[in-house]
Amino acid sequence: MNLTDYNNTYSNLVTFLPNKTIPIHRWYPLVEGYSSELVKSIIEEQEIRPQVCFDPFGGIGTTALTCYDMGIECISIEASPFFFDVANVKTNYTNLSSASFQTLTRRIELELHNSKSGIKHPKLESRTFFEDSGSQKTKWIFHQSVSNGIFDIVRSIDRVCRDEFLPYKKIFIISLATILQEVSNVFKNGKCLSYKKNWKTKKYKRKEVHNFFLKHVKEVILEDINSMQPQPKDFYRPNNVIFGDSREKVREIREGIDIVITSPPYLNSRDYTDIYRLELWMLGYISTYEKERNIRKSALTSHVQIQLPKVDYPPIEELVNAVNFLESDKAELWNPNIPNMVRGYFNDIQNLLSDLRPKLNPNAKLYINVSNSAYSNYIIEVDVIIAKAAELIGYECEEIRIARPIKTSSQQAKKMSIDKMRESVIVLKKI
């Protein structure tokens, strides 16, 4: 495998950080996202400008929005209903009127100003969200004043964004999403949610919650909408964000794709449904465990929160060794599902690449941002394994661009990790 050092150019670009100051991209930050600049630099290095791009793991739409702004058609697929909404809203920003948004903001502000003391909370099957003074619970995610503030906002959005203003509703909901962690008693610790140290004493007032929300609406969203250039009459940039599981939906997309730029979930047992619980449960996407389970199941095999079948996997030496080790007595695993997750991860990715191949134009290029992982101190070279799995089914790996080293929490893995614990971009070509 041709491993090339891209640390100087890519180390920052494979993170979401640069997007935090770019209009529209900054509407909702996603730790697991990459930067618009990464997408742009990949498109600009192509000898022939691509016409159609595809991202099977669209997230909050970084690839789609960057393509949109470059006048390139992009098809993307996203399995989380919340991320799907964020991507959709952002890639439709040119349809928004700044005057309408301003009027709606003023009306919502007025509604919030007149908020009454009692506010109904939705019925959620999960009991962890609300402080309930009558129960024996010792922990809750939102203090009463905060959940009141949140549902004041939800109600105001519902009342104001009706009829012709319905398309604006989701933007306000996404603004609310950006403040949920700040006003809650928990934080995203990388794998799930943990309670903040001072959560019992730190209580935001209802009005403070309103103000956080209005600040984001005015200082981020409204500012970006106001600064938009008027579009010419014939402005048309096709964009297609599809909701669902790309392992299935990929078979339905159209042919003629020139380039794929994507970042699948990493093989790091992160369950997005867990990490984004606040957004999913509080904003009406999930109210029952069954619904949560269904969203979990639609994710690429990359976490151990559901029972996983023992599937076959691509016959790559590095993968065979890894699976043999993980299934042996030598491996000390924190979850017995890990070997099946590793099998399933590479099986899913190889199947996806196989289903995608007929949709690609000859010589189409694929850029896949991934990270290596370690379990029981055994480092799994995800980039090399994916590249080799792709080579078995009609792709050539041109290079693996090493973007940056990544940290490992285990001491022993640290010793072994020289060069191997890395985040990278795999460059494939259809042959």
Ligand X SMILES: C[S@@+](CC[C@H](N)C(=O)[O-])C[C@H]1O[C@@H](n2cnc3c(N)ncnc32)[C@H](O)[C@@H]1O
Residue numbers of the site for ligand X (CB under 6 A)? 30, 32-34, 57, 59-62, 77-80, 83, 245-247, 263-265, 272, 298-300
Alpha carbon distance 259, 46 (integer Å): 9
Least Cβ distance, residue 82 to ligand X (angstroms): 9
Least Cβ distance, residue 261 to ligand X (angstroms): 8
DSSP category for residue 420 = T
Least Cβ distance, residue 348 to ligand X (angstroms): 8
DSSP 240-281: EEEES-HHHHGGGSPS-EEEEEE-PPPSS---HHHHTHHHHH
Place of tokens 């964009």: 239
Place of tokens 């994710």: 299
Residue 329 to residues 6, 320, 333, 375, 398: CA-CA distances in angstroms? 38, 16, 10, 13, 37
> How many helices (H) and strands (E) are present in the chain, helices listed first?
17, 12
Residues with Cβ within 8 Å of residue 412, at least 6 apart in sequence: 377
Q: Which is nearer to ligand X, 207 or 249 (CB)?
A: 249
Least Cβ distance, residue 406 to ligand X (angstroms): 14
Q: Which is nearer to ligand X, 270 or 388 (CB)?
A: 270
Alpha carbon distance 224, 304 (integer Å): 39
Least Cβ distance, residue 33 to ligand X (angstroms): 3
DSSP 296-364: HHTS-S--SSS----------HHHHHHHHHHTSTT---SSTTHHHHHHHHHHHHHHHHHHHGGGEEEEE
Q: Which is nearer to ligand X, 60 or 104 (CB)?
A: 60
Alpha carbon distance 191, 316 (integer Å): 28
Q: Which is nearer to ligand X, 131 or 245 (CB)?
A: 245
Q: Which is nearer to ligand X, 63 or 185 (CB)?
A: 63
Q: Which is nearer to ligand X, 30 or 304 (CB)?
A: 30
159: which 2 tokens? Answer: 């009342």
Least Cβ distance, residue 242 to ligand X (angstroms): 9
- Closest residue to ligand X: CB criterion: 59
Residues with Cβ within 8 Å of residue 240, at least 6 apart in sequence: 73, 74, 75, 76
Q: Which is nearer to ligand X, 170 or 414 (CB)?
A: 170
362: which 2 tokens? Answer: 């000859």
Least Cβ distance, residue 84 to ligand X (angstroms): 9
Q: Which is nearer to ligand X, 58 or 149 (CB)?
A: 58
Least Cβ distance, residue 253 to ligand X (angstroms): 12
Q: Which is nearer to ligand X, 79 or 421 (CB)?
A: 79
CB 273 within 8 A of CB 242: no
Q: How many Cα atoms are found within 13 Å in the side-chain-facing hemisphere of 355?
A: 16
Least Cβ distance, residue 240 to ligand X (angstroms): 14
Least Cβ distance, residue 88 to ligand X (angstroms): 12
Q: Which is nearer to ligand X, 175 or 273 (CB)?
A: 273
Alpha carbon distance 53, 424 (integer Å): 20
Length in residues, the chain:
431
